[in-house]
Amino acid sequence: MTMTITHLGTGSRGNSTLLETPSAKVLVDQGFSGVQLQKRLARLNLKPDDIDAVFISHHHGDHGGGALVCQRKWGLRVLANERTAQELGLEPELTTYFEALDLVRIGDDLAVLPVPVPHAGSDNVAFVASHGGERAAIITDLGSWTDELVTHVRGCEHISIEANYDHKRLMYGPYPYSLKDRISGRGGHLSNDQTGQFLAEVCTEKTRSITLTHLSEKNNMPHLAESTVLFYIDELFSGDLTISGQQGPDFSHYIGQSGEELAADEISTN
């Protein structure tokens, strides 16, 4: 029994990640149009109707802008915190609220834990998904991190995390100073160096795969993100390092073993 982690696409023009277990299929974020979501799922031989639930990390359009169409077109249940749901205008009858650190169970073999992260203007969360005794973290849109996030992510078998910008490319690039300041601030995004520093805190011998996501098309390059992160974790990590771009899905990661009993403290979507 395994959990499959597949990024349908990550970047400023839309983000969504598919988590699939033998009994559950969920999306983490849905920042694509309905047409784009259908096309990307079709590459995996899936349809939107196959999805059991959609988790939204925060209300920005590239992460939650496609949530409402999932409700109106396919009747999908969306899970979000209250502020995010209100900002997105979600349909109340198809929305389940969660609180930070509430464990949410989907089906018989998937549990998802929302963990707060710093990001300006939104109640943003990362997600740590558990299946078969192993865990995968999906972390995006944060300008820094907390001890709490480190605690919950340390030792995850898979970590997907943004490496948004290269510091020099951002600072010497064309953006106005106010935008540079917002991106590089505590409520903005992680630089390649910050991502490497965070991963150095959370990678253990259990960590088998890492995916770098949400790379800026103007302020980053895949080779810069990869080489910078590896500088920090080269002696800690010997697994698979990949980069997810805007045009997905390109690859999947697989984790999990059978026999894990999920925690009883949970929210049911049934």
Q: What mean pLDDT value characterizes the chain?
A: 93
CB-based contacts of 212: which residues, under 8 Å, 6+ apart? 161, 162, 163, 195, 225, 226, 229, 241, 242, 243, 244
Where does residue 244 rank: exposed (0-12), middle (13-18), buried (19+ CB within 10 A)? Answer: buried
Closest CA to 160 of 36, 47, 249: 249
Strands (E), 34-144: 53-55, 78-80, 95-97, 104-106, 110-116, 125-131, 134-139
| 36-50, 188-202, 251-265: least confidently modelled range | 251-265
Fold of 3-257: Metallo-beta-lactamase; Chain A (3.60.15)
Q: Rounded to whole angstroms, how far apart are CA atoms 189 and 163?
A: 8
pLDDT tens track for 86-107: 999 999 999 999 999 999 999 9
Residue 164 has pLDDT above 80, yes or no: yes
